[in-house]
Amino acid sequence: MSVTRRPVVLSALALIGVGMAAGIAVEAPRLLRKRIRSPYDDITDQIGDQEQAAKVGRAVIAKLGNFDSAKVANSLRIRKGTLADMAHADIDADKTLEANGWVLPESLALACAILADQAKASG
């Protein structure tokens, strides 16, 4: 029995094609997510899905009332570590904020609020 290379190559290409399509299907929503650009990207870019986080942030702002992104961002910037580090430290220190009753680490809740505030500002 003779084996030609052509079907093998075609099969390989098809598999690659299927793999790429699947990858795009999985990754596209993330790649196409709207990023909320702001002067606070150093903080907010540490959050994966900014649109989802902005929903949380709106509830945080509703709880806090007045909200000043610049002031809050400065308070976060003087702390050490990543947003995740700050969030874990907040949990240990019992520093939490609520978003419509959802209890969150204070730093994460504030970062979400910055996103919501900037999304509103950018229209």
Partner 1 sequence: MNSFLDARTLPTGSNLETDLLIIGGGPAGITLALALKDSPIQVTLLESGGMEFDGPTQELYEGPETGTPYLPLNGSRMRFLGGSTNHWGGWCRPLEKIDFEKRDWLAHSGWPFGREVLEPYYPRAQEMVEAGPFIYDEAPAKFPVTTLALGSGGIETVWFQFSKMRGSVLPTHFGERYAGDLKQVSNLKLYTHANATALRLAPDGKSLKQVDAATLSGVKFTIVPKYVVLGAGAIENARLMLASNDMMKTGVGNANDLVGRYFSDHPLPGNNATLVTFAGKLSPFYLGTQHAGGAHMRAAFAPTENFRRSRHVLGSLITVDGGAKLDTLGEATVQTASETLGYDAGSAHAYTIGCGFEPAPDPDRRITLDTERDALGMPRSKLNNTISDEDFARYRATLEEWARQLLASGAGLLQIHHSTREEWLKGLDWGNHHMGTTRMHTDPKLGVTDADGLVHGIANLFVSGSGLFPTYGASNPTMNLVALTLRLADHLKGIFK
- DSSP H helical ranges for 32-82: 41-44, 50-64, 69-77
Q: 52 vs 75, which CB is nearer to partner 1?
A: 52
Place of tokens 């990754």: 27
User: Using CB under 8 A, which residues numbered 70 to 109 contact partner 1?
Assistant: 83-84, 87-88, 91-92, 94, 96, 98-105, 108
b/e sequence 35-60, b meaning 16+ C-beta within 10 Å: ebebebeebbeebeebeebbebbbbb
Q: 20 vs 33, which CB is nearer to partner 1?
A: 33
* Distance between CA atoms of residues 17 and 117, nearest Å: 41
CB of 111 to partner 1, least distance (A): 8
b/e sequence 108-117, b meaning 16+ C-beta within 10 Å: bbbbbbbbbb
32-71 mask for partner 1 (x: CB under 8 A)? --------------xxxx--xx-xx--x------------
Q: 51 vs 68, which CB is nearer to partner 1?
A: 51
* Interface residue list for partner 1 (CB under 8 A): 46-49, 52-53, 55-56, 59, 83-84, 87-88, 91-92, 94, 96, 98-105, 108, 112
